[in-house]
A and B are shown apart, each in its own frame.
Chain A
């Protein structure tokens, strides 16, 4: 069975491009009907559609409820309807959902001092769900709290704030007096950065930067409820049972784009149903939606009998096989290329649920992503020097020849996959392919909850594994730089996201250059990223398999489905009437 996919979605969308384009209008300006898909905002709130209890089901809870600590797609989706930061991702369809709009701030920040100073004005008259006012003191405390509670992204996202260094080293009693300067008289908030950051706007829009009361716990709140600002607040949370959300009595819509009024009166999230039981519950209209991926033997059923309740949306994500470049046999370039040639990506797409739910790819940056170019080096008729335009079929003969040439033939290879149904089947297929090209492959399925950290640690001597990277950040750095730079490789640590252990100094320099270029000339930067993509894949530290799509199955009484590229389904906009 498939467990809740922990975390995992490093979601951050950048909005540097949109920054200049979007002047900070917070008014709803779209008259589009609620069920049509437009790039604009959603239709104005329709009170006649409000009411009812929205019922969600999941196999397990998503861990701590603290918005500063939780890093799961499961709860980030709910945070969008309950917590607010100075900025937020827009309530809109398609690309519009990547746009960052002012939320608790009156407008997008005024950027001065070469991009190192961001000035906001906090909206007046907004209250927390406990009835107290949202003040600039709460804003400052919220940023300090990122460090006091050791938020997972404290070091990755917010280390650029002046004073963050000291807070990272000594979280207790963190003060950002120089980094976040507030003035209660004018309601202004000034954030000072050490250096300009092309992605700071999106980093301020994700849940880890939301505003909580200054008196919130100084450690991970866990199951303790922290007051919200959005249309919903949390009534009770029991990770073994359920999470109940109710309307926040103090909420009044201040920006239809950033935080519109919600439709359901309550949201009940129940934990403990298997994925297949979730599908059945949605079919029977006992639940409105299930969180876990639909088991493969139910896909045909829902695609035929319940076709109008199924929503498929593309994700910018990939399934890929990191190969440890520091361990035999994959310390040999030819061995790594052989795997790339041998991999039948169409077969893996079949296991995932067919070509409506995934598409084969060979490039590192997924389709629809800045810097992506359609190319495939490892297919019949392609080479690293002269790539084909798309993947068509595996080239087993070439793969066998490469293994032969590399002198690694007959070596033992262990494949570490997580033990849920889909991953395990993929693993069995990979094992079969590796055996065919001349290795002695064994499959090592381990619990999905430890596989992700297990394959990162060099102590575990993992040769090849299967992993996923979900990403909504339309700037190539978060893909290439995070997954394959020297800085992401920490030998002996469970937190070493560069699983291949790939460290190419020349490439690091090039990536740094591309990021710098992104601040001034995004188009040129994307071109550079595309060439980095090809260069990396010629070195083949990983084999990219396919890019998946998100499938949401909703019950027949569930209406007004909208999809956010950032947080997936918009929870608060679901209508039950």
Chain B
């Protein structure tokens, strides 16, 4: 088994590689692939091994129905991962897409986790009427039809944009998916935290602290928070992965990343239309999400073990 340090180094290494690749996307597009991944080039041709090929090839077999984009050339200088339906370089879009996806995914996950922690702690600690009100609010959020909200919101944004006081939000605003995703998953994290806090509230050490007249804030921060932190940490990679996936659903509904911009989610959506001919287009961004979530997860485990107040390493148990 890897030592804790090795685990965190490897996972951090992967995370930084993904981040670095996303950041050098413009460089890759302009100097290596020599392509503009935001322009539709439906009639473009490329030269592979001396052969001139259409990027979008019309079928010549049978009845000659259908047009298929070029597959992966595995050559970084041209269509490494092939082209999408618009004849754009998938590899370049994947790198650009990483910027949007990583930003939206991590912001949304952080928003969810911090708000959930706040609500879970208050509801579980105060109990009674405060808990009832907060819990019912969580019920409303959880039962709320997010799809309806998203579809309606997208039409509103397309027609007039949304004005909240002095802030004006347009259809392409990245803040919107962050807020929507950040809020809809609150019950999913807050409810388990509340359950744990309810249980902790009855434990001897908390009772003792309350009995000794300690301040509420002291009890929450010293006694309760450290004990729920491990559960919170385990939710971070899960939420990042879920946020990345939800982002793709929202951009499909015209909220967030808009064409011709890309995110891993939008590339998956594009790829679904090519599943039977060019499965790689949907597969590649899916793998990126898995890679990111898995390394976050690994890192989370390492941090968890380091943070856990009672931990003495797994070797003991």
Direct touching of A and B (C-beta under 8 Å): yes
Of A433, A443, A447, the residue contacting B259 (CB under 8 A) is A443
Q: Name which residue of chain A comes closest to B41, CB basis.
A: A432
Stretch binding the partner chain, chosen from B27-35, B152-160, B237-245: B152-160
Could you tell me if A303 and B158 are in contact, using CB atoms closer than 8 angstroms?
Answer: no
Q: Name which residue of chain B comes closest to A420, CB basis.
A: B273
Main secondary structure of the interface of B (DSSP, over half): loop
Q: With A304-B61, A351-B42, A356-B63 as given contacts, are A446 and B274 in contact (CB-CB < 8 Å)?
A: no
Interface membership of A421, Cβ < 8 A: yes
Q: Name which residue of chain A comes closest to B160, CB basis.
A: A461
List residues 70-113 of chain B with CB under 8 A from any CB of chain A.
85-86
Residues of B close to A48: CB separation below 8 A: none
Query: How far in angstroms is the closest Cβ of chain A from B38?
Result: 8
Interface membership of A429, Cβ < 8 A: yes
Residues of B close to A443: CB separation below 8 A: 258-259
Could you tell me if A303 and B61 are in contact, using CB atoms closer than 8 angstroms?
Answer: yes
Interface membership of A229, Cβ < 8 A: no
What CA separation (Å) do A442 and B158 show in the bound complex?
A: 10
Query: How far in angstroms is the closest Cβ of chain A from B209?
Result: 55
Residues of B close to A310: CB separation below 8 A: 63, 65
Residues of B close to A5: CB separation below 8 A: none
Q: With A304-B62, A421-B273 as given contacts, are A416 and B68 in contact (CB-CB < 8 Å)?
A: no
Could you tell me if A307 and B42 are in contact, using CB atoms closer than 8 angstroms?
Answer: no
Residues of B close to A344: CB separation below 8 A: 42-43
Interface membership of B59, Cβ < 8 A: yes
What CA separation (Å) do A300 and B63 show in the bound complex?
A: 8
Stretch binding the partner chain, chosen from A34-42, A69-77, A290-298, A506-514: A290-298
Which size bracket describes the interface of B in this complex?
Answer: 35 or more
Residues of A close to B274: CB separation below 8 A: 297
Could you tell me if B43 and A428 are in contact, using CB atoms closer than 8 angstroms?
Answer: no
Residues of B close to A433: CB separation below 8 A: 40
Residues of B close to A301: CB separation below 8 A: 66, 276
Of B61, B85, B172, B275, the residue contacting A351 (CB under 8 A) is B85
Could you tell me if A432 and B86 are in contact, using CB atoms closer than 8 angstroms?
Answer: yes
What CA separation (Å) do A432 and B43 show in the bound complex?
A: 13
List residues 402-435 of chain A with CB under 8 A from any CB of chain B.
414, 416, 419, 421, 424-425, 427-429, 431-433, 435
Could you tell me if B254 and A446 are in contact, using CB atoms closer than 8 angstroms?
Answer: yes
Of B40, B58, B62, B155, the residue contacting A450 (CB under 8 A) is B155
Interface membership of B39, Cβ < 8 A: yes
Could you tell me if A346 and B276 are in contact, using CB atoms closer than 8 angstroms?
Answer: no
Could you tell me if A353 and B66 are in contact, using CB atoms closer than 8 angstroms?
Answer: yes
Query: How far in angstroms is the closest Cβ of chain A from B216?
Result: 49
Q: Name which residue of chain A comes closest to B158, CB basis.
A: A444
What CA separation (Å) do A427 and B277 show in the bound complex?
A: 22
Residues of B close to A428: CB separation below 8 A: 40, 86, 259-260
Residues of B close to A304: CB separation below 8 A: 59, 61-63
Residues of B close to A427: CB separation below 8 A: 259
Of A297, A350, A442, A444, the residue contacting B273 (CB under 8 A) is A297
Of B67, B68, B86, B159, the residue contacting A429 (CB under 8 A) is B86
B2-31: CB near A (< 8 Å → 1, else 0) gives: 000000000000000000000000000000
List residues 296-314 of chain A with CB under 8 A from any CB of chain B.
296-305, 307, 310, 312
Residues of B close to A429: CB separation below 8 A: 40, 42, 86
Residues of A close to B273: CB separation below 8 A: 295-297, 421, 425
What CA separation (Å) do A428 and B261 show in the bound complex?
A: 11
Of B38, B65, B68, B254, the residue contacting A444 (CB under 8 A) is B254
Q: With A436-B39, A551-B65 as given contacts, are A442 and B171 in contact (CB-CB < 8 Å)?
A: yes
What CA separation (Å) do A442 and B161 show in the bound complex?
A: 13
Residues of B close to A295: CB separation below 8 A: 273, 276
Main secondary structure of the interface of A (DSSP, over half): helix
Tally A residues with Cβ within 8 Å of B: 50
Residues of B close to A491: CB separation below 8 A: none
Residues of B close to A296: CB separation below 8 A: 66-67, 85, 273
What CA separation (Å) do A516 and B252 show in the bound complex?
A: 49
What CA separation (Å) do A419 and B269 show in the bound complex?
A: 12
Q: Name which residue of chain A comes closest to B277, CB basis.
A: A297
B30-58: CB near A (< 8 Å → 1, else 0) gives: 00000000111011000000000000101
Query: How far in angstroms is the closest Cβ of chain A from B70?
Result: 13
Residues of B close to A436: CB separation below 8 A: 39
Could you tell me if B67 and A446 are in contact, using CB atoms closer than 8 angstroms?
Answer: no
Of B65, B253, B276, the residue contacting A354 (CB under 8 A) is B65
Query: How far in angstroms is the closest Cβ of chain A from B55?
Result: 10
Interface membership of A460, Cβ < 8 A: yes
What CA separation (Å) do A304 and B66 show in the bound complex?
A: 10
Q: Name which residue of chain A comes closest to B159, CB basis.
A: A460
Of B65, B155, B158, the residue contacting A299 (CB under 8 A) is B65
Interface membership of B151, Cβ < 8 A: yes
List residues 273-288 of chain B with CB under 8 A from any CB of chain A.
273-278
Interface membership of B165, Cβ < 8 A: no
What CA separation (Å) do A65 and B114 show in the bound complex?
A: 52
Residues of A close to B254: CB separation below 8 A: 419, 444-446
List residues 439-495 of chain A with CB under 8 A from any CB of chain B.
442-447, 450, 454, 460-461
Q: Name which residue of chain A comes closest to B68, CB basis.
A: A300
Residues of B close to A353: CB separation below 8 A: 65-67
Which residues of B does A touch, CB under 8 Å?
38-40, 42-43, 56, 58-59, 61-68, 85-86, 151, 154-155, 158-159, 171-172, 252-254, 258-260, 273-278
Task: Show 26 A/B contacts (Cβ-Cβ < 8 Å), sorted by A.
Answer: A295-B276, A297-B66, A297-B277, A297-B278, A299-B66, A300-B61, A301-B276, A302-B65, A303-B62, A303-B65, A304-B59, A350-B42, A353-B65, A353-B67, A356-B63, A425-B85, A425-B86, A431-B260, A432-B38, A432-B40, A444-B171, A445-B254, A447-B151, A447-B155, A461-B159, A551-B65
Apart from A350-B67, A356-B64, A421-B273: 7 A-B pairs, beta carbons within 8 A: A297-B276, A301-B276, A307-B62, A350-B42, A350-B56, A444-B254, A461-B159
